[in-house]
Structure 1
C-alpha cells in the first residue's frame, strides 16, 4: 500500500509499506477520498510541529469501505461504506461531565495518531459511522466538515424565521450557511473575496460584501432594524470580532466557530448592553455526524459544488503547494487509491 508522510519543512513523502491486519477492536478501511482541511494546511506550514510526531500520516476528512475486520468487531462487515469520526475519547474522565467530544485527554485522529492520507487505514471500530449503500463517496468526504457546521448551528439554537449572519465565506462558513438555511432562517454570508462570493452565490446563498455596503445597515434594512438573531464568527480575524457584536441584535447569540490561538479584543460592553450570548463550539458529537450523513445522502443543497479539485494521493506535495498558491478554493479531495 501507499502511504503519505509529513516529514517537516513543508515536505511530504510517499512511501510503500505493507498493509497491517486490524487489531481485535479495529477495522481496516480502504480509503476512497480524503479532503484537505485548514488544520492539515497548518501542519504543512509547520505550525503544529510541536504536537505531531514526525514522520506522520495526517488527514481526517474521509470516506471509504471496510476492507478487514478485527475479531471482536461484530456490527460491521467487509464492504460497508463508512466515515470516521476522528475523536479518540478513551481518556475521558468523570470531570469531563460526559462531554466526550471535548474531554480533557481527547486525542484527534489524523493529528495525534495516523490519519487517512493513505490507501488503507486501521482505526478503532467505535469511531465509525456506517453510510447508506448508495452514498457517493466523494460527497461523503465532506461529512466531517459538514458535521462541524451541524454542531455550530445546533448549538446556536437557530429557529425558523430568525436571521443569521455568517462572518466568513470559506469552506466551513459556507457549510454553516447551508446548514443554517435548512432551519428555515434567513441567512446572510459576509465575505470580501470575489471568488468565494461567486461560490456562495452558486450555492444559492445571500451574500453581502462589506467593502461595498455597510454590513450593519444592510442587515438592519433586511430585518426591520432588528439585526441578527445569530452571528457565526468563522473568519477568525479582528475585523469580524469587531463587527460581530454590532451586527447582533438584542439577546443575539454569537457562535465562535473560528479558532483563535491568541487572546483578542472583544467589545464586552455590547454583551451587557444587548444581553448577548457568546457560544463556544468545538468539533462535533455523534448526533451531528448522523445529521451530516442524512444531509449528504439527501443532497438537496448541491454539496458537490463545494468540491473544487480531486487529485491523486501521490500528488500530495503539489496539492499542498497549490493550496498555498490558490487559497480561494473550497474543498480539495485526494483520491487515495491513485
Structure 2
C-alpha cells in the first residue's frame, strides 16, 4: 500500500510502498477514507517538533474510514463500520502516545488502531469532516471547556484563526462566550473569523489595538486568551490583554521561551498561564454528537481534498498558507 513516511533522522518525507499491516489481537485495521493535514505534521517534517520514534513513521493523526479487519480479541465492532480514530492513546505506563508521531498514523491506504481508540460516526457525517474532529476540533474544545473553563458571557480573545483557531471561534460561540475577539494579521483570516461567529476582529499591528481591545471588553480585559499560533509575539500581546484573573492558554506549539515582562502586575491581577495539549476522554464523542445534531457545522472547514499521493504538495501548501486553508484532506 501507499504510505507517507518520515525518516526521523534525516527529516526526509516520501510516499513509499509498504506492506498492508496486520492487526494485533486487540487492534482493528482501518481502510482510510480521509486523513487531515495539520500544521503539526509540517513541524514534524521541518524538525520544529520532536518525534518519539528512532527510525521512520507514517504521519497523520486525523483519520477516518471503515473497519476492514478485526484482531482475534476484538468484540463489539464489525467490518464496514464507519469510524474515526482517537489521535492518541496511553501506553501501560500511562504515557500519552500520539498517532503519526509515536506510532504509525493514517497517511496511508490502511491504518491500525487499538479497538478502544475507535469512535463510531453516523452516515450523515462525511468522512472528510469526521477526520478532523480528533485534534483540529477536539484540541480547541479541550482548551476552551477544560483548560480555560470558559463560561457564558466571558470575554475571550483568539490569536490565530487558522486550523485550530477557526474551530475555536465556533466552539466559543457554542459555549456562549462574549465578546469573541479574534486577532490575526491576515485580512482573509479575519473575514473568515467574522463569518464563523467572531464579534470583533483586529490586526495585531493596528495602531489603536490596545484601545479597541479594552473598549470591547468594557475596560475589564479578557477572561481568557488563546494562543493558537504558537508565536512568542502573540503571547506577549495576549498576556497584556488579560483582565483580573484572566487565563492565557498556550495551544499552539512553539518550543520558544516566553517571559512575562511585568511579573508584579501579573501577580497582582492574579493572571494565569496554562499549557494545553490534546483533549480529555469523551471529547471526540461529544463533538460527534454535536455535529450529528446540527450544533456544529464543519462543512466549511475542508479547504481542499487531495489524493494521498500528493501529501507533499499538501504539506507545502499548508506551510506557505496558500489559499489560507483551515484543513487540507488527503484521500487514498
Question: Structure 1 stretch 48-57 or stretch 240-249: which is displaced more?
Answer: 48-57
Residue-by-residue CA offset, 1:96-145 (whole Å, 9 max, x unaligned): xxxxxxx5x32212111111000111111121112123221111012012
Figure out how many residues of one structure are paired with residues of the other and give that number: 325
Cα contact 1:35–1:333 (8 A) shared by 2: yes
2-structure distance, mates of 1:142, 1:134: 15
**1-side partners of 2:265 and 2:253: how far apart?**
21
User: Which of 154, 166, 174 is the aligned partner of 2:166?
Assistant: 174
Which residue number in structure 1 is paired with residue 197 of structure 2?
204
1:260 to 247, 254, 263: 254
Contact 1:26–1:124 at 8 Å: present in 2 too? yes
The 8 Å contact of residues 51 and 102 in structure 2, kept in 1 or not, is answered as no
Structure 1 position 42, deviation (Å): 1.1
Q: How does 1:119-198 map to 2 (within 5 A)?
A: 119-144=109-134, 145-154=136-145, 155-186=147-178, 187-198=180-191
Q: TM-score, structure 1 length as denominator?
A: 0.89
Deviations 1:230-272 (A, max 9, x none): 1112222222222222211111122221223132212332321
CA contact (8 A) 2:33 2:66 kept: yes
RMSD: 2.1
Change (3 A) 1:270 1:78: farther
Which of residues 259, 268, 276 in structure 1 aligns to 2:271? 276
Residue pair 1:256, 1:279 contacting (<8 A) in 2 also: yes
- The 5-angstrom pairing of residues 73-84 of structure 1 reads 73-84=74-85
Q: Distance in 1 between matches of 2:33 and 2:239?
A: 42
Which stretches in structure 1 are left out of the alignment for 5+ residues? 93-102
The residue aligned with 1:19 is 20
Distance in 1 separating the partners of 2:319 and 2:23: 36
SS in 2 for 1:56: strand
Within 2, Cα distance between the matches of 1:90 and 1:106? 7
Question: What's the CA shift for 1:294?
Answer: 2.2
Mean Cα displacement is larger for which, 197-206 or 166-175? 197-206
Cα distance in structure 1, aligned partners of 2:83 and 2:153:
35
After superposing the two structures, state which structure 1 stretch, 311-320 or 83-92, moved more.
83-92
Name structure 2 gaps, 5 residues minimum. Answer: none
Give me the whole-angstrom Cα distance separating, in 2, the residues matched to 1:11 and 1:260. Answer: 21
In structure 2, how many angstroms separate the alpha carbons of the residues matched to 1:128 and 1:201? 34
CA shift in 2, pair 1:37/1:164, >3 Å: same
Say if 1:166 and 1:234, in contact at 8 Å, map to a contact too. Answer: yes
Give, in angstroms, the shift of residue 168 of structure 1.
1.8
